[in-house]
Amino acid sequence: MKYTKIALTLFCSLALFCGCTKDSDIVLKINDKSITRAEFNEDYNRIKNSQLKNAPKEIQKDDSYAAIAIKERFVNDLIVRSLLEQEFEKRKIEASEKEIKDKKAQIIAQFGSEEQFNNVLKENKITEQRLNSDMANEVKIAKLIDSLGAKEATNAEVEKYYKQNKDQFVLPERIRASHILFDVNAESLKRKITEADKEAKLSGADIDKKVKEEIARKEKLAQEVRQKAADNPKSFAELARQYSEDSATAQNGGDLGFVTRTNVVKEFADAAFSQKVGTVSPIIKTQFGEHIILVTDKAAAGVQSFASVKSDLKAYLTEQKKIQTLRNLINGLKQNAKIEYVDLSLSPDNIKKQLEEALPKQIDFQKKQGVPKSKLKILDKTKKEQK
């Protein structure tokens, strides 16, 4: 079982809208704090556009099920963040410049490099000012949890959890792989070309032609890079840094770490798991584009020993205790808060109604896209539960 650090922050790289309002168009009030429509839309649109940027145009619309679901989560997060900010003020919890700097260094280390970290910031349009605000809030939340008396998991609790959940520590066959990705998705390329055409000089036919030309160029380049990698597998990491369009892994030489068959799409898994260590695959096409894969290690299925997971498991269980402590506080703050939905469309009941109205369109769209019936059944079940 693999444990990763769970972020305690509920700010999620979003600005706190707790200052004095300049715009009279208020959409939400949380105790004595007001949020304007301009403030709300700025961050909601940024989050929605970021999460749905690769989705079909139908899904990107404001009245789509996905967009409304994002808005529902955003409104709730906004309320939680405002309540926590008020709690910071009440308890006089602050973050020093050194603490903010140290927290930022910790986050960068998790990304592997400052360059990769900055690429993620750029992709999500997160400014330095916003980043510093988020880091400060991370520090404040940690201090808030400490002040609430969250306890560290004991050795007895760790061992008990391991014995009662041994099935969670069974690892399937795994491989460690690196890849170089070329984006040859027609819809994605069309969107990029259209966005770059600021003055709208290109006709639909012009755009389609450019898409075909770009796909042909990238497919040719992919074959050339693949041949270089096959001739000299040791050059794979440098080739990934130079050519891969997977920004999350390119700066790490395309390294994906250890993956199981269920961690990656079928076409990728079928190719990678049949490869020998140290070999480079032919061009593999998936929904994400064209991949060149290098397998660097393999691990057989098996059960992790208690000794091998004890440290990570203790950290995980301690983190869970902290999260539960924070949740308990948030629930109490919500119960005692005065929350006014000035824009009634943002109220829980109205958002639920919007989701109910959008769900049939979502199911119809997915049927047209050939989505498996199993997933459609899940949506149908959701629809019934909402009723």
13 burial class (0-12, 13-18, 19+ CB within 10 angstroms)?
buried
Question: What pLDDT is attached to residue 331?
Answer: 95
Question: What pLDDT is attached to residue 162?
Answer: 97
The answer to whether the pTM exceeds 0.85 is no
Nearest CA-CA partner of 184 in 160, 212, 164: 212
Question: What pLDDT is attached to residue 117?
Answer: 85
Q: Which ranges in 197-274 belong to alpha helices (H)?
A: 204-231, 236-243, 266-272
Q: Which residues of the chain have pLDDT under 50?
A: 1-23, 378
Residues of the chain with CATH 3.10.50.40: 173-184+214-300
The CATH architecture of the domain made up of 173-184+214-300 is: Roll (3.10)
DSSP one-letter code for 24: S
Distance between CA atoms of residues 177 and 113, nearest Å: 19
- For residue 240 the two structure tokens come to 């990934």
Pick the CATH number of 26-152+310-346 from 3.55.40.20, 3.10.180.10, 1.10.4030.10, 2.40.50.100: 1.10.4030.10
What's the length of the chain? 387
Q: Would you tell me how many other CB atoms lie within 10 Å of the CB of residue 83?
A: 23
Question: What pLDDT is attached to residue 57?
Answer: 86
Question: What pLDDT is attached to residue 4?
Answer: 39
Question: What pLDDT is attached to residue 375?
Answer: 54
